[in-house]
């Protein structure tokens, strides 16, 4: 029997890639997305890529009644919850909006799941919960540090809520993503930032496309090998596949309560300048960039210890940094043609 998976935020960047992988692995998918930070472009991409059109409901996860309706219409076996705001800077301006949206929607969703006796839940968390870790590569048992932003705080609070409910008949996995980048190799799916991108790779591809005049490297005086910050950049398709692996593992668990947490990264730290060089090498393009001041709130370096996820879920990334940057560039060129 095919399992039906509810994917909230399924019209967004990571959500849409995960929907495509779920369909490829023979799951039925139901998407809920309020389209507040995206449009229907990636829904169309899913259809073109998978030749499948999942049921889609343009509703807000804070809307209990509408969510109830989705659970009435579909026999949901498990939920993957992506729907959330993720702009670190914006969250400092609008903390209540972030808490209401990210924490509120989690609570609403868990309440509806309880009403319909749906127990399996995968949560989209972030390495931001570690802050600047004392030891790197960072393992899942590293202490949770004071949040650097309201966005980071919402991820920490959500993880705590999930921990609390998993003592009562809920099975959950939190996936702590490092820096998701890239696009589907088919160029049917990719990132569609609204306005000026905050994240590095969309800024790089928009600069290469001439949409932005030049890229600024935020800080070149950090105590790292070339002075710029270090992150762990994970291809979005590998990340999507990690969700499918986590889901299979979760559904296998026969106990009525369950909680596990996995880092999802490559295990390798790359500096901002190394990412720029890799982009130039992978795409034979010269980027215009300047060295600027540090961005407030940035941690100096963080990358994942991936021992646990590779052992438990038998998952490892398949794509290189160059692959991700090539795919991101193919996607950017495609959307510029539209
Ligand atoms: C942060 C969080 C991540 C979260 C994401 C959401 C941490 C460690 N990471 O990612 O968990 O999911 O926000 O958006 O808290 N950079 C430039 N120039 C630019 C843009 C970025 O130099 O124009 C640099 C940044 O200073 C940073 C690196 O590129 O060193 C990556 O930045 P970004 O893509 O914004 O992601 P994080 O801030 O690492």
DSSP per-residue letters across 144-211:
PPPPSSHHHHHHHHHHHHHHHHTTSS-EEEEEEE-EEE---TTSSS----SSS--SHHHHHHHHHTTS
Q: What is the pLDDT of residues 170-197, one digit of tens each?
A: 999 999 999 999 999 999 999 999 899 9
What integer pLDDT is reported at residue 148 of this predicted model?
86
What spacing in Å lies between the alpha carbon of 297 and ligand 1's midpoint? Answer: 10
Per DSSP bridges, beta strands 289-292 and 215-218 are parallel
Cis? peptide before 121, omega within 30° of 0: no
Burial status of residue 252 (CB atoms within 10 A of its CB: 0-12, 13-18, 19 or more): exposed
Strands (E), 10-154: 28-32, 55-57, 78-81, 120-126
Residue closest by Cα to atom 29 of ligand 1: 200
Q: What is the pLDDT of residues 93-134, one digit of tens each?
A: 999 999 999 999 999 999 999 999 999 999 999 999 998 899
Show the domains of the chain with their CATH numbers: 4-183+234-265 (3.40.50.720)
Q: Report the helix count and the strand count for the chain, using DSSP H and E.
A: 12, 13
| C-alpha separations of 161 from 82, 99, 104, 237 in Å | 16, 13, 11, 28
What integer pLDDT is reported at residue 338 of this predicted model?
79
- The first and second tokens of residue 138, run together, are 């960072």
Distance in angstroms (rounded) separating the CA atoms of residues 143 and 127? 12
Strands (E), the chain: 4-8, 28-32, 55-57, 78-81, 120-126, 171-177, 179-181, 215-218, 230-231, 233-235, 258-264, 270-271, 289-292
- Give the global pTM: 0.97
Burial status of residue 269 (CB atoms within 10 A of its CB: 0-12, 13-18, 19 or more): buried
Q: Which of 88, 153, 223, 224 to mutate to test the pocket of ligand 1 (most atoms within 8 A of CB)?
A: 88
The mean pLDDT values, 10 residues at a time, for the chain of 338 residues are: 97 98 98 95 98 98 98 98 95 97 98 98 97 95 92 97 95 98 98 93 98 97 98 98 98 96 98 98 97 93 98 98 98 93
In this structure, are residues 316 and 237 in contact, taking their beta carbons and an 8 Å threshold? no
Name the residues annotated as catalytic: 151
Binding-site residues, ligand 1, Cβ < 6 A: 86, 88, 126-128, 179, 198-200, 203, 215-218, 229, 231, 272, 295, 298-299, 302
């Amino acid at each position: 029997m095919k399992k039906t998976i509810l994917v909230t935020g399924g019209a967004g960047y990571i959500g849409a890639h995960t929907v495509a992988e779920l369909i490829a692995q023979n799951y039925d998918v139901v998407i809920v997305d309020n389209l507040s930070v995206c449009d229907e472009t990636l829904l169309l991409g899913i259809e073109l890529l998978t030749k499948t059109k999942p049921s889609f409901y343009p509703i807000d996860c804070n809307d209990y009644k509408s969510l109830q309706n989705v659970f009435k219409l579909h026999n949901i076996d498990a939920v993957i919850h992506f729907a959330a705001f993720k702009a670190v800077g914006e969250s400092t301006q609008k903390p209540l909006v972030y808490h209401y949206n990210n924490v509120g929607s989690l609570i609403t969703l868990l309440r509806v799941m309880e009403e319909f006796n749906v127990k399996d839940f995968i949560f989209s968390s972030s390495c931001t919960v570690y802050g600047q870790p004392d030891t790197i590569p960072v393992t899942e048992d590293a202490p949770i540090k004071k949040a650097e932003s309201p966005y980071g705080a919402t991820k920490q609070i959500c993880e705590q809520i999930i921990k609390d409910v998993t003592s009562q008949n809920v099975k959950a996995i939190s996936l702590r993503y490092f820096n998701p980048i890239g696009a589907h190799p088919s160029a049917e799916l990719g990132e569609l930032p609204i306005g000026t991108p905050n994240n590095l790779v969309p800024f790089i591809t928009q600069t290469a496309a001439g949409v932005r005049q030049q890229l600024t490297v935020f800080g070149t005086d950090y105590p790292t090998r070339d002075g710029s910050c270090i992150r762990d950049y994970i291809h979005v398709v590998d990340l999507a596949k990690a969700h499918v692996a986590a889901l299979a593992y979760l559904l296998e668990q026969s106990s009525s309560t369950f909680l596990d947490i996995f880092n999802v990264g490559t295990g390798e730290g790359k500096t901002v300048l190394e990412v720029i060089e890799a982009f130039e090498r992978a795409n034979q393009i010269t980027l215009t960039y300047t060295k600027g001041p540090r961005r407030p709130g940035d941690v100096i370096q963080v990358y994942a210890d991936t021992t646990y996820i590779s052992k438990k879920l038998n998952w490892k990334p398949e794509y290189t940094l160059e692959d991700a940057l090539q795919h991101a560039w193919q996607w950017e060129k495609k959307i510029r043609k539209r």
